[in-house]
Structure 1
Amino acid sequence: MDGLTLRAITAFGASPTRVEIVRFATGHVEFSIHDICVETGLSRPSVRMHLGALEALGLVTSRRDVQPRGAGAIRYWSVRPSEIADVLDDLCLYVSSSRG
C-alpha cells in the first residue's frame, strides 16, 4: 500500500488492515484465516477479529466445512462484492453531496 492510499484510507478512519483483508478477499472465491495470515503476516487472532467485524457489517460471510485432511472443522470465508460496492458508493455519494 503506497503512502497516498494509506493517507486516503486513514483519513476516513478506516483500518488499513481491514482494507488489505478485503483487497485480498476480492481476489479469491473462498479463503481461510490461514490464507490471510500467510499473505499479510498477521496473527490468527488479529485476522479473526477483523473478519468478525467485516462479517458483522455484512461485507463477508463464512461457512464451516471439514478440513481437507479430515482433522476437524475449518471455516471458509468469502467476500460479498455487491455489499462492498454499496458501502463505497454510499461513501462517495456522501462525500460528494453538497450541504447547501
Structure 2
Amino acid sequence: MNTKLNPDDGDQLLAVLNALANPHRLRIIAALQGGGRNYVSQLAREIGISRPLLHLHLQKLEAAGLVSSTMELSSDGKALNYFEVTPFNVPLTPDAIATAAATLTNNPES
C-alpha cells in the first residue's frame, strides 16, 4: 500500500498507532530506517525473529502505510520481497488527536 498518511484521518491514525504498538514493529522500522530497504530473510536475521513472524509484522506495518514492498528477482532467479520505510510524520498533539477523533467512522457521538 503506497498511501500518503493523513494525520487528520482518525481511522488512519488508529491504524498507525496500533501498528507501532509493538516492540518488534518498532525494531523493524528502526532497522529499515537505519539500513535502507532490505529483503525479508536478511531483515529477519538482523532483527532476530523468524521469517513468518516478520511477515506478520510487515503486513501490519504495510497496511498502516508505514512500509512499502517491492518484489524483485535476484541475479540467480530468486524472488526477493524488499521492504522500505514510507516517509511519514504523524504529529501527536492534543489538537491533532481532537481533529482526528472527529473523523472516526466508529464515532459513538454521531
TM-score norm. by structure 1 comes to 0.68
Q: Provide, for residues 56-87 of structure 1, a one-character-per-residue CA deviation record: whole Å limited to 9, x for no partner.
A: 000000111102322x3111111012x2x22x
Structure 1 residues 48, 97: CA separation in 2 closer, same or farther (over 3 Å shift)? closer
Task: Return the alpha-carbon distance in structure 2 between the equivalents of residues 53 and 79 of structure 1.
Answer: 13
Q: Pick from 69, 75, 98 the counterpart of residue 81 of structure 2.
A: 75
What is the aligned-residue identity percentage? 30
Asked if 1 retains the 8 angstrom alpha-carbon contact of 2:67 and 2:85, the reply is: yes
Higher relative contact order (CA 8 A, sep 6+): 2
Structure 1 residues 32, 96: CA separation in 2 closer, same or farther (over 3 Å shift)? same
Q: Which has the higher helix share?
A: 1
Q: Structure 1: 5+ residue runs without aligned partners?
A: 1-12
TM-score norm. by structure 2 comes to 0.62
The answer to whether residue 73 in structure 2 is matched with residue 66 in structure 1 is: yes
Task: Return the alpha-carbon distance in structure 2 between the equivalents of residues 97 and 48 of structure 1.
Answer: 30
**Corresponding residue for residue 20 of structure 1:** 27
